[in-house]
Chains A and B, each alone.
Chain A
Amino acid sequence: MAAINLNLISGRTIQQGVAIESGKEKPSYRTACGIIELDPSDLKKLGAWKNTNVRVTSDYGSVVVKAIETTQGPHPGLGFIPMGPWANSIVNPNTYSTGMPTFKGVPVKVEVAINEPILLGIELVQKQCGVKVG
């Protein structure tokens, strides 16, 4: 199974919007945002079926999401994770003195991670922050 290198961007989707209003603690948030949209050619390079769990790693972090086939392509070489804690586990936090992190245009490595779970939204953040949940 190959690892591929991609350019990652993040942003809004309608499903993300509906999910945040339904409740970020719910599985629907993970379904909407715990994903990476890939161009079919990139899925092929990766050697993975669509809807496979993958691990996406950047210089700033690593996260497991579900790889799905893009509905807003073609965009070979570009990966899209909807805005949210999954994307923000790996985006570039550097603002270069502008106040704004670099949410779009982050080089990432994507590899298949079939047996790794995708965490729920709040859980993902709490875990990375080391917050004790009673």
Chain B
Amino acid sequence: MAEYIIRNGHVFDPVQGIKGDKADVAIKDGKIVKDNEVSSKAKAIDAKGKTVMAGAVEIHAHIAGPKVNVGRIYRPEDKLFTYTPKKGNVRMAGGFSIPTTFKTGYEYAKMGYTTAMEAAMPPLFSRHVHEEIRDTPIIDEGAFPVFGNNWFVMEYLKNNEVENTAAYCAWLLRATKGYAIKLVNPGGTEAWAWGLNCLSVNDPVPYFEITPAEIIKGLIEANEYLGLPHSIHIHPNNLGNPGNYTTTLDTLKLAEGYKAKNKFGRDQVMHLTHTQFHSYGGDNWGNFESKAKEIMDYVNKNKNITIDTGNVTLDETTTMTADGPFEHHLTELNHLKWANVDVELETAAGVVPYIYSPTISVCAIQWAIGLELALMAKDAMRCFITTDHPNAGPFTRYPRVIKWLMSAKARETQINAFKHKDKVVSNTSIAGMDREMSLYEIAQMTRAGPAKSLGLSSMCGGLKPGMDADVVVYDFSPDKPVANPDQIETAFSRAAHVFKSGVEVVTNGEVVNNGNKRTIWVNAKVKENPQVMRDIQEKFLKYYSVSQANYESLGHHFIPNPYAIEVDATR
């Protein structure tokens, strides 16, 4: 493997506390090494006047799986004017809000993202998720199976059987080669199978008679019992409704008193995702307002929580989520085409296009809320940038979000462009906020923070020798004042150099190598649990529509390059 030495760049690495100092970064055998460990044959990359960071880590995006593909298939219009033809070994690529898998890998790489987590994997469809992950070039990926509406989980937790829940979770993570315990609208999506929902953490699930609060607490306990790399990752109940911030606070409070138990450097017991959608005040669309302050006051005080923003980017996009009832609600609102799939024993999914128009006051307020959350964050290691791609906007808009966070002027320009600027000013605090995130904080919010939250801090998110050589050079000078905030967006859209596992994959904003991506999954070992194994067998015989052997069948052709993280939870 080639050796590299990236010289004279301004390095921003929260893992080593480097805040823009000029330093060299050396790459050898796929890892970061000390400068003096590379030979004279190392290829020199001139990073003078440029910004150097680790590869970014996407903690939550819908990029691989059945509902993503429903989005692609049912929106041929999403491909219009977006296609780039095949060039050499770079495959043809198209799609705006739901890019094809090739485009997904290429666009992430061009922005300097080198690791991404598929936010929700319906376990029955794990083969589909992994096929798409396999066909996404360059970036390492993992996927979160969903547990919050799972029949096994609900039955065990109704009886407070945490150890059985943990054993089942470990089994499912292995059967689906999944990464973490994800909850989406806990309980509410099972209710949706009957056309109902759970809008508060105390609404009992029809028939199963367990509340979302009980499901959430039980899964926190199971997660810590196992000591998994990531905490539970939760999309709370009541997404998208005015006034829902109370449900969000109720959800966050369930983490009180729990401490993270794991060997991966993770400190949080709950990661609350796309928080923007859950920070709404008012009680109707007319008096809709931001409660970002109330949410961030709580998050800032409670250090066992991490969040990601879910920034609205003001685009026409496609919403897709395992919050089935929400998607039905959305299609009743905007009358755009609605797809829905209820998944036996496990979950559901819904897909509806959405247009976040700057002429609509609600959309403008949503935009503001997403930014407020980050600007109010006291600890940038606990608040990460996402767009819940593609729900609040395509991930290709991250550079634009970074621009808004780094430049008060850019925010002001956007605020002034809103048709209902007055409502944005009165119903949020965005107009008064002059904080500008630094590059170091951006690195925390897009690299070191998400990596740590995911339990991957020894592998990625930083430039410490021993870590994977995922390194990015941006054509952006931290020395010079930014004449035009759009320069930020341009620089972060097309990196000058991107290395993934020590291989140069992007040069001058163009993909030059398809890389050798890995699929990261968690192999948690628990002590033998014959009861859970029997319950699994029984449910497959009686209720599933596939056999257990076929459910568990996930051969090498699905995951040609697996990377298993071993967890020993036997006691």
A/B touching: CB–CB < 8 A: no
Residues of B within 8 A of A (CB): none
